[in-house]
Amino acid sequence: MESGDSLTDRQQAFHKRTRNRDVALMSLLLGTGMRISECVGIDIKDLDMEETAVNIHRKGGKEETVYFSDEVAGSMMPYYEERKSMMAEPGHESAFFLSLQNKRMSVRSVEKMVKKYALIVTPLKHITPHKLRSTYGTHLYQETGDIYLVADVLGHSDVNTTKKHYAAIDESRRRQARKAVKLRED
């Protein structure tokens, strides 16, 4: 995605104009686990690049601060700087992620973007934006083992929703647990 390799000539022409935005958007999705609707709903004022945080609107209208890594911030910075000089269409001035028409990006356009890049990287797998969210949740759970933290970060109002999606990971951890305690010293 960053280099534009393997894109068609037509796609490469667009890639030159959208590279920074696409890298920023994909990094933010994969590095926070936020929903596409939350991501495209971000306004410029919602971002705090110094604190590496963004205010988003969750399902149900709840506003929440989501933090991202320095790596994600680094991926976002070129577009953040570029966005400052972009002239958005009337009614879209506050939007952070803009389409080529200088309007707020839609959920559908992000789905198409993810599909375009995913087909290049792994043509046999069906990668969706929700799969990026799931990947983030899986990695966070594997690193922390804290299902409540994963539920909170992903914005699940009920931890049972989170448990349902990550039950296979729990099964794997239970299998590993059988080797963790030794009855006799070697």
The pLDDT of residue 28 = 94
Residue 113 domain flag = yes
The pLDDT of residue 39 = 94
Residue 152 lies in domain:
9-177
| Alpha carbon distance, N-terminus to C-terminus of the chain | 50
- What CATH number does the domain containing 33 carry? 1.10.443.10
The pLDDT of residue 147 = 83
Residue 183 domain flag = no
Residue 4 domain flag = no
Residue 182 domain flag = no
Residue 132 domain flag = yes
Which helix (H) or strand (E) segment holds residue 47: the answer is strand 47-48
The pLDDT of residue 169 = 63
DSSP assignment of 14-37: HHHHHHHHHHHHHHHHHHH---HH
Could you tell me if 78 and 97 are in contact, meaning their C-beta atoms sit under 8 angstroms apart? no
Residue 185 domain flag = no
The domain tally of the chain equals 1
**Regions of the chain where pLDDT drops below 50:** none
User: Which pTM does this prediction carry?
Assistant: 0.76
Residue 1 domain flag = no
The pLDDT of residue 170 = 63
